[in-house]
Amino acid sequence: MTRNLKEDELVVYENKLQGVEKANEEDLYGLLEQEPNTRFLGTSLGVNIYRFGRQFYDSSQVAEKWNEARLELASVKASIDTLPDNRKLEKRQDKLTSKIEGLKKKLDYGNSVMRTGNPVVILDETLTDKSVNNLTGYLVNHGFFDAKVTYEIEKKDQKAFVNYLIQEKEPYIIDSIYRKTDNEEIKRILDSNQKQTFLHQGENYSQDNIISERSRIEDLLKNNGFYMFSRTYLNYIVYKDTAEKIVTIEEIVQRPTFAEKHEPYTLDSINFRINPPNNEFIDQRIQKDFRGIDFSFYRDRYSEKILASRIMMEKGGRYNRQNAIETQRLLSNLDLFRFVNISFDTLGTSLTANIFTQPNQKYQLTNQVGLTITEQLPGPFFSTALRNRNFFRAGEILEFNFRAGLEGVASATGLGVYQSQEVNTSLSVIFPRFLIPFAPGALQKFGRYNPNTRVQFGYTYTNRPEYTRNSVNGLLSYTWHTRNNRQSFTVNAADLSYIRTPKLTPEFLAVLEDLQSRGNNLIWSFLPSFVSSISGQTIINFNRYGDFTTKRASLLRLFVESGGTTLNFFDVQSNDEPDIEYANFQWLKTQVDFRRYYPVSTKQTFAYRLNFGWAAPYGISAGVLPYEKYFFAGGGTSIRAWQARRLGPGSSKPVIGERGPYDYINEQPAEMILESMLEYRRNLVGFFDMALFIDAGNSWMIGVDPARPGADFRWDRFYKEIALGAGIGLRMDFDFLVIRLDLATKAVDPAQDEGSRWVLDNISFSRPFGAKGQTVFNFGIGYPF
């Protein structure tokens, strides 16, 4: 890193904070003006990339081209002034403008290779002084009023080790808080909501908490009618007691400059306008009134009932900023309008709410071509989607989807990778309300929850190396969200499918018949079948909606399903009866998926996932699930040291046949899954990220599987059957696309005999990838979780 430095230059090699005991060390490190280059094994990839790009960069040539382009642009602009509407000149002007912007970027930051890397960070003591000021300001703002910060630099081999010496001293504690206002209504509102305050007696003083409290009070009062109130009317005076190390905070609500006191505002009227796309429709305006809202449409193509259900403001009610924001969000989510703007006109203490919109395009066609991967190798896909908005003139959306894909998957009966084709198409109608019989008041009652009902019909064709499968599907589902947008719910009231598997290869059929002869009736999953289920799902986002003060994120998904429920009321033939030709299934299924992302700095993040699933057939299923309802462990988004769907179940072993191991362990269906993944993610340079990860988990059968000894879940041994894998990954994050490369190796293999399951010691310098099949390479699109 010190190569080609001038004699008086030093590389910032390390920053160290000394003396931090009570302050947030992570926040303090973020205030340093110069951060050392990221290093790995003693070298910096970013610096090496930058220096490589620097060999092909001449700033004087770039500056010369930049000046030439600017002069030519000035000449073109002069020509346009004399020859307006000249399309050739206008195109040349646009091209030159884009070229100048690119050259300026290149002049400031180097060529594209240099911008991918990072220049070496040279010590600048003016920036070090600025860092000291930043640290001091932070400490004072967090109650360390007597803190002092200095620094010292250790120099070694043209490397600078910067030590910031921090004397925190004692933080000041909030002793008492007083509020001063002569507005009785404001006082009543603030007192009744005091539990939500950010300022607490006995806590350390923090300027951040005062800023948060000022914003909280502004929001609170605006949500209670005080339209003209702003945080500028809040003044905080802090009295310090340097002997006792305490502060007293006085909160003053100042009077407005435009009136005697702050007054609440009421909504005198609400106007909703849908502007025409052009002036051709200006004479086709329709006026309607519903629920005290004055609607004006450029054509009679919209339902005032649907729109009113998404307007949370009420005529004659007090102004509420949160209701105005929620109204804008709910109307935007209808996907009927290009934009939704809400403004207010004032007259005294009365408001007129004006909602202005413009219709979205009636038809929208979206085509996509790209790569996808679900198991092993990526394959091309093509998809198209056609939307017809406001189909029945009541906010409905008619949606047609088609997708065709090709990818590489492992065969269930042979070695190697084969092509798998899948085609699916669907036709949906999305209603912006709950379709509930005999519930006429549901529209207005549930409008605030952004409800919709989806009616869908679809067809799926799958052609794998070992079988061909067709499915016709019908779906009726309801979706809604909580008002704070942190939780969504989906209820599939009816999910109906007719499934056929018209083609099974002789090899795969032999595998299924072999399993059946040993007591495993998986073959029933490939009989013609009618599959029906009722399911529900909720996704909980634990982040506070609109809160950008924290980068932590966590998500919980809960799923429950009851399949074949209605068959309990009919006399239906069981699957285990002789000569069964048509399979029926009954099952219960649940899944819990939790994900957490915890940044430790701007470039480093820990992420983990916990996933548990359980599915149990009962009744006429005779111990068999529909094939799509089984759980599978292993693969790029599961336990990555095992190939897709090849892990488990339990401690069962591959069956040895005449041709060697049956490779149908690629498809190891199970009724229970437990897995966890822990990742350390770090930005290396530019769009290159790295990851270190550990995956643990397995799948099991609920009951004994005679064909796969050790596959059943048992409390006295399941913990001994947890598979463990570890690895390293490289990711290229382009914002719009993430390409993921993961190299994972088995550490604990439950398929081995007890006492021999630790297999990580198979890896050595002579065998860097261990035994055959121990190391797995995964290519993926997107993050694993």
DSSP notation for 404-451: EEEEEEE-SSSSSEEEEEEEEEEEEEEESS---TT-TTHHHHHGGG--
Q: Are 629 and 589 in contact (CB under 8 A)?
A: yes
* 148-166 as b/e: b if 16+ CB within 10 A: ebebeeeeeebbbbbbbeb
Residue 281: pLDDT over 60: no
Q: Which domains, and CATH codes, for the chain?
A: 11-167 (no CATH), 173-253 (3.10.20.310), 266-359 (3.10.20.310), 556-785 (2.40.160.50)
Question: Two tokens at 677?
Answer: 């993944």
- Residue-wise pLDDT for 589-611, tens only, equals 999 999 999 887 777 899 999 99
524-552 pLDDT, tens per residue?
A: 888 888 899 999 999 998 875 444 444 67
In this structure, are residues 191 and 220 in contact, taking their beta carbons and an 8 Å threshold? no
Please report which helix (H) or strand (E) contains residue 296, including its range: strand 293-297
Residues 446-467: tens digit of each pLDDT: 888 999 999 999 999 988 877 8
Kindly state the DSSP code that residue 718 receives in the 8-state scheme. G
Rounded-to-integer distance, Cα 196 and Cα 694, Å: 40
- Quick check: 414 pLDDT over 50? no
User: What is the per-residue pLDDT for 282?
Assistant: 58
Query: Residue 251, exposed/middle/buried by CB under 10 A (0-12, 13-18, 19+)?
Result: buried
**Which is more confidently placed, 72 or 574?**
72
**Dihedral, 404, 410, 411, 415 alpha carbons, nearest 10:** 150
Within 10 Å of residue 180's Cβ, how many Cβ atoms?
12
- Cα 474 from Cα 470, distance rounded (Å): 14
Handedness of CA 116, 121, 126, 129 (dihedral sign): positive
For the sheet with 148-156, list strands across it.
11-18, 159-167, 148-156
Euclidean distance between the first and the last CA atom of the chain, given in angstroms as a whole number: 35
pLDDT at 659: 43
Mean pLDDT, the chain, integer: 87
* pLDDT tens-digit map of 467-502: 898 999 999 999 999 877 789 999 999 999 999 988
Mean pLDDT check: name the lowest of 15-24, 81-90, 178-187, 528-537: 81-90
pLDDT digits (tens, 9 = 90+) for 606-615: 999 999 999 9
Residue 91 — φ and ψ, nearest 5°?
-65, -40
The enclosing H or E element of 65 equals helix 59-82
pLDDT for 412: 47
The token pair that represents 388 in the structure block: 């017809």
The per-residue pLDDT for 718 is: 93
Confidence band (pLDDT; 50, 70, 90) for 307? very high
Query: What is the reported pLDDT for 630?
Result: 92
Kindly state the DSSP code that residue 301 receives in the 8-state scheme: -
> What is the model's pLDDT at position 377?
59
Q: Which residue has the higher pLDDT, 437 or 241?
A: 241
Long-range contact set of residues 396-402: C-beta below 8 Å, sequence gap at least 24: 396/429, 396/430, 396/431, 396/432, 397/335, 397/429, 397/430, 398/427, 398/428, 398/429, 399/426, 399/427, 399/428, 399/429, 399/430, 400/425, 400/426, 400/427, 400/428, 401/425, 401/426, 401/428
Between 26 and 375, the more confident residue is 26
pLDDT of 278 = 64
User: Does residue 190 surpass a pLDDT of 80?
Assistant: yes
Of residues 40 and 10, more confidently modeled: 10
Q: Report residue 272's pLDDT band, with 50, 70 and 90 as the boundaries.
A: very high
Q: Please write the tens of the pLDDT for every residue from 670-721.
A: 999 999 999 999 888 778 888 999 999 999 999 888 888 899 999 999 999 9
Q: Does residue 388 register a pLDDT over 70? A: yes
**pLDDT level of residue 409 (50, 70, 90 thresholds):** low
CA angle 161, 167, 169 (to 5 degrees): 160
Q: What is the mean pLDDT of residues 284-298?
A: 87
Looking at residue 371, what is its pLDDT?
Answer: 61
pLDDT on residue 372: 59
Model pLDDT for residues 667-680, shown as the tens digit of each residue: 788 999 999 999 99
Alpha helix positions (H), 474-600: 506-517
Q: What is the pLDDT of residues 352-369, one digit of tens each?
A: 999 999 888 889 888 877
pLDDT the model gives residue 416: 47
Beta bridge partners of 612: 592, 674
Of 112, 114, 106, whose CA–CA distance to 64 is shortest?
A: 106
pTM for the full predicted model: 0.79
Q: List, as own/partner pairs, every contact residues 664-669 make where C-beta atoms lie below 8 angstroms and the sequence separation is at least 24, other chains included.
A: 664/412, 664/413, 664/508, 664/511, 666/409, 666/410, 666/411, 666/412, 667/412, 667/632, 668/632, 668/633, 668/634, 668/699, 669/522, 669/625, 669/627, 669/630, 669/631, 669/632
Relative orientation angle of helices 87-109 and 59-82, to the nearest 10 degrees = 160
Q: How far apart are CA 740 and CA 296, in angstroms?
A: 51
What pLDDT was estimated at residue 283?
A: 58
What mean pLDDT do residues 730-754 have?
A: 87
Residue % of the chain over a pLDDT of 90:
50
pLDDT-derived band at 666, boundaries 50, 70, 90: low
